[in-house]
Amino acid sequence: MTTDTVRRMLVLCVLCAGIAAAVFWRDSISIENLTAWVAQAGWIAPLAFIAGYATATVFFLPGLVFTLAGGALFGPVYGTLYNLSGATLGATLAFLMARYLAHDWVARRAGRRVQQLVTGVEREGWRFVAFVRLVPLFPFNLLNYALGLTRIRLSHYIVTTFIFMAPAGAAYTYLGYAGRELAGAGEDVVRKALLALAAIAIVAFMSRLLVQRHQARSNQQTGHDGQA
């Protein structure tokens, strides 16, 4: 057994153990618990939050809870920055694990969807990654691993992930912020809540529009291929 094989098996065992632990403790992951945990971190709270978000992404924990908590803890601006940093870091770690250490495990778990992603990335490159980041056609945590099986460059993956997760990330971060204001009866609660709902509605509308445009373009390309 080679050193590379041992390394891969070790990483796979750690990954499986982490996912099992995440499933076991899943019910204890809440906005209240995250808020209390980060509040105890003191001046390193932003770094602790980013690290926690990245770890949750790697081990398939719900990212939405972290995103809402980021808005409640740090506000709409810094919360968005920390949420995107944590999500991108976790997505990058998952990508690298799939590409270099857990290729077979990811391929089995993703199944047919892997081929769809590989075909899309080969055809459109970073634009396809931008599309699946804007439109949640695939589960976020699994998508990070599945994209590691494609041939996209790491730098393109990181930049595209950070930029094109921003619209939905900002909207849900603001929702978390508005929820904190609502709970604390802060100023302009109704206005902030309406803004949060409007932002989410805009993101949903954009996603639907992008899906329609992508389907129309795919049908057009298929028609051209058929004529050829």
Average pLDDT rounded to a whole number, residues 99-105: 73
| 106, 146 contact by CB (below 8 A) | yes
For the chain, the structural domain boundaries read: 3-227
Distance CA 189, CA 62 (A): 27
Q: Cα torsion at 53, 101, 134, 223 (round to 10°)?
A: -170
pLDDT recorded at residue 119: 80
State the residue for tokens 């993703």: 110
State the residue for tokens 């750690």: 14
Helices (H), 101-153: 103-110, 112-124, 126-134, 140-147
pLDDT in tens, 169-186: 998 898 888 877 776 555
DSSP reduced 3-state for 213 = helix
Distance CA 7, CA 5 (A): 5
Output the six-digit token pair for 34. 């995250």
pLDDT recorded at residue 160: 93
How many secondary structure helices (H) and strands (E) does the chain include?
Answer: 11, 0
pLDDT recorded at residue 26: 59
Please provide the size of the chain in residues.
Answer: 228
CA distances from 97 to 1, 7, 227 (A): 20, 11, 41
pLDDT in tens, 132-169: 888 877 788 888 988 988 888 999 999 999 999 998 89
Query: pLDDT band at residue 85, thresholds of 50, 70 and 90?
Result: very high
| 94, 58 contact by CB (below 8 A) | yes
Q: Which one has a higher pLDDT value, 196 or 24? A: 196
Q: Look at residues 48, 91, 95, 93 and name the one whose alpha carbon lies nearest to residue 70.
A: 48
This prediction's pTM: 0.78
Query: pLDDT band at residue 81, thresholds of 50, 70 and 90?
Result: very high
| 80, 66 contact by CB (below 8 A) | no
Q: Look at residues 90, 155, 157 and name the one whose alpha carbon lies nearest to residue 117.
A: 157
pLDDT recorded at residue 163: 92
Distance CA 204, CA 202 (A): 5
